[in-house]
Chains A and B, each alone.
Chain A
Amino acid sequence: MRPLLTIRAGFYAVFRTLSRMYGPAIFISALPPLFSSLLALGGWIISGRVELDKYLYQLLGMSLLVMAQVALSEISWTLKGWIDDGLFDYLAASPAQPLSVFIGVFLAEALVFAGLSLVITAAVVGALKGPLFALSTLAAYALAFIGSLPLIGLGMALASLVLFTKEPGVVAMPIGAAMAVVGGVLYPTSILPPYLRYIAEALPMAAWADAVRGLALGLTLPIKELGALGGYALYILIGVLSFDAAGRVARRRGVA
């Protein structure tokens, strides 16, 4: 089955339900500007200074964090919904590659839940730094969608646990929160203690955020970070293999 067709099918399966969730989508889209403003306010209270560069760093980081949460946990929640509704059997029996299906799921979820916040962020960046930066931010988000494949792989690895635990949140929630701590989206990983920096380097999030930020706020094509992201493509393989193995065990046991 052609991957693009499968991506489209996964996208459509989720998008037709999500596109009606205007309330939650607007609420989630408002979170990055709201929380980055609160952090800047907290920073002002503590330091007595308003630092625009740090505010933009965190604004951009927050919207990337929403995308990362979608990749890491929404795949699990969607899978749980499919299992509950008895639809997983169709996915298991179809010739479609799960990776393509989940890329479609991610695109739909990210578009609905992060789309508006990406536009708001680009508008704020444009207002504060100039229209060229608004355009570079939009271009950087296009890069973010492509560069999120390792995160989708990680999300698939977590989703494979759902076939056994039936509890998507138990693993996905702490991992998603840990990404906020070591993901380099709210502050540079250089302020972390060394052993947390090692964890940050082992995960794809910080390199992904660096690449997007470099293009959006620095107008530089981040070749080095893109190269690093290539290395993190290993997570795609881990995701595919673990989901495949879990799917086979689940089918044998009759769990799914």
Chain B
Amino acid sequence: MRPAESRGAVGLLKEVEREWLRFSRASARLWQRALSGSLSYVLWLMAAILAIAWYGALREGLGRDMFWSFLAFVLYSEPLWAAADARSHLRLGITEQILAARGGLAPTLFPWLFVDSAMWSMMDSSVLFAVFTAIFGPPAAAQPLLLAAALALLYLFSLSMGVIGVYLFLSLENPWIAALLLQLVIPLSGGVVPPYALPESVARFLAYSPFQYVVAPLIYAGVGKWLLPPPFELAVGYAEAGAFAALALLADRIAVEKIKLKPS
């Protein structure tokens, strides 16, 4: 019996706990850097949003709604940054040790990316909330229950993309361009700028984007406007996120076989 299979849900929680210990033991200097980086990130985002809003969005009262777009972007992008960071560690030679201890990489990578990205996302979204509140007033969710469902959906998709991203980045010498492309293409085609804020001709194309079903529901639930009926959007979204999670596990299998044949 493989070790990962014997542990089940309790084992997964223990993995999460272990990753949390690794993360929380970071030095005070690292926490300072993290907080400063988080604050800078949000301030740059704010500058960008105000710069775009200057073209007219402020007049249409979209300012406060844009909080949800930025939240979706932060929640999607953090697992990918964590993946790029994990790739650096894996390339330093710990891949074989994880394989020997766990039998696969995915049982370690999911909790690893979950803890890292959850902590960074929490920091980023807290600062984002504070900054948006200071400028536009507090953003209140229009549909809190749907928001919770959309949040879990986006996070499952983002984590799966993170794991797939690790294997993609591992195969590249310089992963930053690929990371940047993944950071921009999927959110933009996924409705991070929601259709009701777009000219009709552009918004029409968004309905055909598969990523719209996983990225945009968080924004739709926050604002209270949906492109399609919420149960349909969420059902398709969860099926899609499940498919991406399966793809992540498949990528893990392929990568593990490759590493066994040719260790780094």
Instruction: Give the B-binding residues of A (Cβ under 8 A).
Output: 39-40, 42-49, 51, 54, 58, 167, 169-171, 173-174, 176-178, 180-181, 186-188, 191-193, 196
Contacts and interface: CB of A to CB of B under 8 A. Distances in A.
B129 to A, nearest CB: 16
Contacts of B48: 39, 42, 186
Contact of B54 (A48, A171, A180, A187): A187
Contacts of A42: 48, 52, 55, 193
B40 A186 contact: no
A43 B54 contact: yes
Interface in B81-102: none
Interface stretch (B112-120, B146-154, B197-205, B222-230): B197-205
Contact of B33 (A54, A170, A176, A187): A170
B135 A196 contact: yes
B116 to A, nearest CB: 19
Contact of B62 (A46, A186, A188): A46
Interface of B: 29, 32-33, 36-37, 39-41, 43-44, 46-48, 50-58, 62, 134-135, 193, 197-199, 202
Nearest to B37: A173
Given A181-B50, A187-B51, A191-B50, A43 B36 contact: no
A170 B193 contact: no
B58 A191 contact: yes
A170 B27 CA distance: 14
B33 A167 contact: yes
A170 B32 contact: yes
Contact of B55 (A49, A192, A196): A49
A46 B199 CA distance: 7
Most buried by B among A40, A48, A174: A174
B47 A43 contact: no
B54 A191 contact: yes
Nearest to A177: B43
A180 B199 contact: no
B193 A39 contact: no
Nearest to B199: A48
Interface of B is mostly: helix
A171 B202 contact: no
Given A169-B33, A170-B33, A178-B43, 11 more contacts: A39-B48, A43-B56, A45-B199, A49-B56, A54-B54, A167-B32, A169-B36, A174-B36, A187-B51, A191-B54, A191-B58
Given A169-B33, A171-B36, A174-B36, A46 B51 contact: no
Q: 9 closest A-B pairs (Cβ-Cβ)?
A: A43-B55, A47-B56, A177-B43, A180-B47, A186-B51, A187-B54, A42-B52, A177-B40, A173-B40
A39 B52 contact: yes
Contacts of B58: 191
A44 B47 contact: no
Nearest to B58: A191
Nearest to B36: A170
A180 B198 contact: no
A47 B57 contact: yes
Nearest to A176: B40
A39 B41 CA distance: 17
Nearest to B136: A193
Contact of A180 (B29, B33, B43, B197): B43
Most buried by B among A45, A48, A51, A193: A45
A45 B47 contact: no
25 contacts: A45-B193, A45-B202, A46-B52, A46-B198, A47-B55, A47-B56, A47-B57, A54-B54, A167-B33, A171-B36, A174-B36, A174-B43, A177-B41, A177-B43, A180-B43, A181-B50, A186-B48, A186-B54, A187-B54, A188-B54, A191-B50, A191-B58, A192-B135, A193-B135, A196-B135
A51 B55 contact: yes
A81 B42 CA distance: 27
Contacts of B40: 173-174, 176-177
A181 B47 contact: yes
Nearest to A51: B55
Contacts of B199: 45, 48
B197 to A, nearest CB: 6
B46 A54 contact: no
Contacts of A49: 55-56
B256 to A, nearest CB: 36
B30 to A, nearest CB: 10
B47 A46 contact: no
A92 to B, nearest CB: 24
A101 B43 CA distance: 30
Contact of B50 (A47, A174, A186): A186
